[in-house]
Amino acid sequence: MPAELDARFAALGMTGRKALIPFLVAGYPTRERFREVLRTTAAHADVLEIGIPFSDPLADGPTIQAASSKALSAGVTLDRTFAELREHFPKDGPPLVFMITYNQVLAARDFVARCRDHRVAGLIVPDLPFEEAGELRAQCQAAGLSLVSMIAPTTSESRARQIAAAAQGFIYLISVAGTTGARGEFAAETLAYIRKTRALTDNPLCVGFGISKAAHIRQLREYADGFIVGSALVNAIDEGRERELLTQLRAACG
């Protein structure tokens, strides 16, 4: 089956525009507010990433950890997230990608099929090592979903080549070692790392971890195909200025 993410990046490539990939924590900050934010973000996004809250965060910085904890306390679950998307995600909305732990995948009944039925186009499973992802990757491919792989600054060149060769949808390029969170300008070594990875593959590279403002996108857009914005958007939602931030980021993407 053709993958929706492949089609989206092919269309963006023809226009020269970069992909804006906002990240939302499912159900945050409240059920009613999440529905409003979901519609606003979908109107600005080329791809929309939704994190399914989990009690044991992986690479999340303090902003997303706090948002996930609040969502869990409010009773947000995978089932409830599916229900919210079924009822409130716009029919003409962008491709959806779930950020989810492998334990949650294993615990869910008919998970990949349910994702397909709820218009989820891809999965990011950060705690599933590339070498152990073959079964889930095959399930996703058969259902028309993409299992998105991650490459970090600490990934060896040989392993990065392996990951790139099996990549689906896009490659999530972690900009810096450490946890997520807004930061200042990116250092020269980050640019060098992105250029080095770009030389290894023609797959779309989408940069995450620390992308928080339009200046970041302008700094990195020569080498990347998309930009994932998480902590900065969560902060903007808390302050009621998500539309302003999304408009600025969208303009920087071209």
Active-site residues: which are they? 49, 60
- Of 206, 213, 210, the closest CA to residue 244 belongs to 213
Helical residues (DSSP H) of 100-148, grouped into ranges: 102-107, 111-117, 134-143
Give the whole-angstrom CA distance, residue 213 versus residue 209.
12
How many Cα atoms within 13 Å fall on the side-chain side of residue 227? 30
Q: Which residue's structure tokens are 């999304």?
A: 246
Type and span of the H or E element at 18: none
| Cα 165-97-168 angle, rounded to 5 deg | 15
